[in-house]
Amino acid sequence: MTFILIKTIHLFAAFIYGGFLIVDNLFLVHIKESFSQEEHVKIRESFMKYVRKVVPPSLLVAVATGLYLISQVYGPIDFDKGLSYFQVMLGLKAFLGIWLGLRGGLQVYFKIQPFVFKSHVLPFAFVVTIIFLSQFMYL
């Protein structure tokens, strides 16, 4: 029962973070085309005021619950055969999720801005990759 509860929390937190990245990368970038620069800044800041309250904690919850879930399903490593396909896909998914969590946590809570990849395009690509890995890791 605990596993299902934590998995549900993980999915909701991941949906909040991923949903923000989808909206930001696919929709909010087009505000520049429809409004003046001044209006664009006001609209984006109005949106981001609420995003900053919800999205960073959701990202950290998604990473923390993801680490718990991995600890429950990763399984033993067979040193003769190496990692299974599932373990490789889950490990890659975990790496991308931890990277997102570290980047987001350092940026929001410690005010350390990334030197490269300052936009949300790379995190968006990582989230899409994580979604596809989620679907292919059970093959």
How many residues can be counted in the chain?
139
Mention every residue, 6+ apart, whose C-beta is less than 8 A from residue 112: 106
Reading the chain (139 residues) residue by residue, the pLDDT tens digits are: 899 999 999 999 999 999 999 998 888 888 888 888 888 889 888 988 999 899 999 999 999 999 999 999 999 998 899 999 999 999 999 999 999 999 998 888 888 887 777 788 899 999 999 999 999 988 8
Question: pTM of the prediction?
Answer: 0.87
- Asked if 44 contacts 28 with a C-beta cutoff of 8 angstroms, the reply is yes
DSSP state of 27: T
Distances, alpha carbon 133 to alpha carbons 51, 80, 108, 116, 127, in Å: 26, 25, 27, 25, 10
